[in-house]
């Protein structure tokens, strides 16, 4: 028995040593540059030696990045020629398991209503600007008032994907979600006061992730009792350790921002090619997020069942009632169909989804084939004369008036105001030269129809390649409810594409099977909403590409 006990003890000790060595960071406990010890009590460089890897945020699943052929489709019956195959590489990232649902969006609306009461005139546009457009369900020759009145708020539709949300509203939801998730992390880790996200929040006192990282003492409107009221912060304060009162970016505790996925990320995740890999090549290709070339299941137990929610033909939104029906006529509850190989639900059908990119007919892979994205507008934190960051207040909320007259809040109180980058960031650079890069190499001066090598067409939109209508909406300075709407009646416009048109991907309950192919791409003005476009969030991955170490496959005898 004693020998058995000793053997077990040695085994446990060995396993513990192995696990400790696995979790140990490569940079060790002392500097390879100076030999000084990290985190010495006597002083010196302080570094997080316990960091392992990024936590998976609420609602997300991990997508290991890799290479794939973007844009390859079997058919192009629309003759768009806008999805020419290109080889792209996508870094690892995280993506929502499901589309954002009504109940998720209602939580956002509830928070806005509580913090910025719409009964107060100065906050009215914050709440109403975030409301989905429920009138998208109306059809002049259809009876859809039930969805108009019930789809967003009735509990029967709580787990259905939210629709009627434009691209800008989806972005603002993503920003709000980032702040609430990181606020919860700080509360759970003992840095901010318990229940601060509820007791200490008001229009003048809110939490913003970037404000906390850049000017933590200004979080919650400068309320130190909330910002440093957690047990951990209080312990550091008792020891007069001011460096640890707040979490910093170097601590690796807070998550990167929730955002819309790029088009390349969305398409890569939708395809779910992980099961088609043979060493470093793909065996064939997929037409849909599932295996095979058909929309019905070929498995014995589910043979004949539809694998997605889509329109099957004229007047046929679900099939004949009974076993062959796809289970939905409009949208369906999320997770109604099997996930793809990444564990993502409804990457085809149910609702199409906004992605981050500006739409252009051609993917410019000749310039970039790594994390492709068109839509970069580089900004930096606005700075006060005293060198501190400029934070929005209740009197400096940033609004955006959309082309349809709707007013949407873009920077809420407590957030850091942004300004375009200038020569300080662009001087003698080779990788970027200006703040707005949305039409880089496509629609700018050098690719304009009338470019002769020296004229500057910046001031003449009629000579630009993407010469879309420009409608104007002017808000009355005294009464924000009064709008002066002016349609662009110019007869010389040549396209509906411009720098405010965004890509949306995937088929929906309203689309034929043709649009279920992840490579298909369509576009819509970023301030418009429909009854068939929703969205899901993504999050960048920091650190290693894979969650697990790679193990070489057995190659067999020579």
Q: Please report the pLDDT score of residue 441 as a whole number.
A: 84
Q: ∠ at Cα 125 (403, 527), nearest 5°? A: 25
Per-residue model confidence as pLDDT tens digits over 289-330: 877 777 777 777 777 677 788 898 899 888 777 666 778 899
92 in any annotated domain: yes
User: Any alpha helices (H) in 250-395, and if so which ranges?
Assistant: 263-271
268 in any annotated domain: yes
**What is the C-alpha separation between 117 and 200, in angstroms, rounded?**
16
pTM of the model as a whole: 0.89
320 in any annotated domain: yes
26 in any annotated domain: no
Of the candidates 369, 376, 478, 361, the one whose C-alpha atom is nearest the C-alpha of residue 84 is 361
Q: By three-state DSSP, how is residue 255 classified? A: coil
Q: How far is CA 137 from CA 112, 179, 193, 338, 539, in A?
A: 24, 31, 44, 27, 31
Strands (E), 387-536: 398-401, 407-411, 418-420, 472-475, 483-486, 501-505, 521-525, 533-534
381 in any annotated domain: no
Q: Please report the pLDDT score of residue 449 as a whole number.
A: 54
- Domains: count for the chain: 1
Per-residue model confidence as pLDDT tens digits over 318-361: 877 766 677 889 999 999 999 999 999 999 999 999 999 999 98
28 φ/ψ angles, rounded to the nearest 5 degrees: 70, -155
323 in any annotated domain: yes
Contact yes or no for 25/49 (Cβ under 8 A): yes
Burial string for 44-82 (b: 16+ CB within 10 Å, else e) reads eeeeeeeeeebeebebbbbbebbbbebbbbeeeeeeeeb
Strands 501-505 and 86-90: unpaired
233 in any annotated domain: no
Per-residue model confidence as pLDDT tens digits over 160-181: 999 999 999 999 999 999 999 9
Domain span at residue 82 reads: 63-189+253-375+499-545
**What is the C-alpha separation between 501 and 532, in angstroms, rounded?**
17
69 φ/ψ angles, rounded to the nearest 5 degrees: -90, 110
Q: Residues near 458 by Cβ (< 8 Å), separated by ≥ 6? A: 445
39 in any annotated domain: no
**What is the C-alpha separation between 158 and 511, in angstroms, rounded?**
23
Give the residues across from 278 on adjacent strands. 281
The CATH number given to whatever domain includes residue 358 is 3.90.1580.10
**What is the C-alpha separation between 234 and 243, in angstroms, rounded?**
12
Rounded to the nearest angstrom, the gap between the alpha carbon of residue 74 and the centroid of all alpha carbons in its chain is 28
Of the candidates 485, 498, 492, the one whose C-alpha atom is nearest the C-alpha of residue 525 is 498
Mean pLDDT, the chain cut into blocks of 10 residues (558 residues total): 50 47 62 87 81 93 93 77 90 98 98 96 94 96 95 97 98 98 96 93 96 95 91 77 81 96 97 69 69 75 77 86 77 94 94 97 90 96 94 92 88 95 94 90 61 48 69 73 78 82 96 92 95 98 86 54
Contact yes or no for 513/295 (Cβ under 8 A): yes
């Amino acid at each position: 028995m004693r020998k058995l006990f000793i053997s077990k003890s040695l085994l446990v000790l060995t396993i513990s040593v192995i696990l400790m060595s696995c979790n140990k960071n490569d940079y060790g406990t002392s500097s390879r540059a100076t030999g000084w010890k990290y985190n010495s009590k006597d002083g010196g460089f302080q570094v997080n030696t316990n960091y392992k890897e990024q936590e998976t945020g609420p609602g997300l699943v991990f997508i290991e990045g890799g290479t794939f052929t973007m844009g390859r489709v079997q058919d192009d019956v629309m003759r768009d020629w806008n999805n020419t195959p290109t080889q792209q590489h996508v870094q690892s990232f995280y993506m929502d398991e499901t589309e954002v649902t009504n109940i998720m969006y209602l939580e956002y609306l509830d928070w806005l209503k509580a913090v910025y009461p719409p009964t107060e005139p100065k906050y009215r546009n914050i709440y109403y600007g975030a409301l989905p457009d429920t009138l998208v369900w109306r059809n002049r020759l259809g009876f859809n008032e039930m969805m108009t009145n019930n789809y967003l708020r009735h509990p029967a539709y709580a787990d259905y994907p939210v629709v009627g949300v434009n691209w800008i509203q989806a972005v603002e939801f993503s920003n709000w979600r980032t702040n609430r998730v990181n606020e919860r992390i700080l509360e759970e880790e003992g840095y901010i006061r318990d229940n601060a996200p509820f007791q200490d929040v008001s229009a003048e006192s809110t939490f913003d992730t970037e404000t906390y990282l850049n000017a933590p003492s200004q979080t919650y409107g400068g309320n130190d009792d909330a910002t440093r009221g957690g047990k951990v912060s209080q312990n550091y304060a008792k020891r007069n350790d001011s460096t640890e009162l707040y979490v910093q970016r170097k601590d690796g505790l807070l998550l990167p921002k929730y955002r819309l996925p790029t088009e390349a990320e969305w398409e890569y995740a939708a395809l779910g090619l992980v099961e088609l890999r043979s060493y470093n090549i793909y065996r064939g290709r997929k037409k849909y997020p599932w295996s095979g070339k058909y929309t019905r299941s070929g498995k014995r137990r589910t043979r004949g069942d539809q694998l997605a929610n889509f329109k099957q033909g004229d007047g046929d939104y679900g099939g004949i009632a009974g076993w062959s029906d796809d289970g939905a006529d409009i949208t369906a509850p999320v997770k109604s169909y099997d996930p793809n190989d990444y564990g993502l639900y409804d990457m085809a059908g149910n609702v199409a989804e906004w992605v981050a990119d500006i739409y252009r007919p051609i993917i410019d892979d000749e310039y970039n084939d790594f994390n492709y994205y068109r839509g970069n507008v580089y900004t930096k934190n606005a700075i006060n004369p005293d060198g501190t960051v400029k934070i929005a207040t209740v009197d400096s909320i940033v609004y955006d008036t959309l082309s349809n007259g709707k007013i949407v809040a873009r920077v809420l109180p407590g957030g850091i105001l942004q300004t375009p980058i200038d020569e300080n960031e662009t001087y003698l650079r080779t990788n970027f030269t200006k703040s707005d890069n949305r039409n880089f190499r496509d629609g700018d001066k050098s690719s304009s129809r009338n470019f002769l090598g020296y004229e500057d067409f910046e001031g003449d939109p009629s000579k630009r390649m993407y010469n879309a209508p420009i409608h104007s909406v002017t808000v009355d300075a005294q009464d924000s409810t009064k709008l002066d709407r002016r349609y662009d009646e110019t007869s010389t416009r040549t396209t509906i594409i411009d720098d405010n048109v965004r890509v949306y991907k995937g088929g929906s309950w309203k689309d034929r099977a043709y649009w279920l192919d992840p490579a298909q791409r369509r576009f819509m003005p970023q301030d418009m909403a429909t009854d068939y476009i929703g969205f899901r969030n993504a999050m960048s991955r920091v650190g290693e590409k894979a969650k697990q170490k790679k193990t070489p496959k057995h190659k067999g005898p020579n």
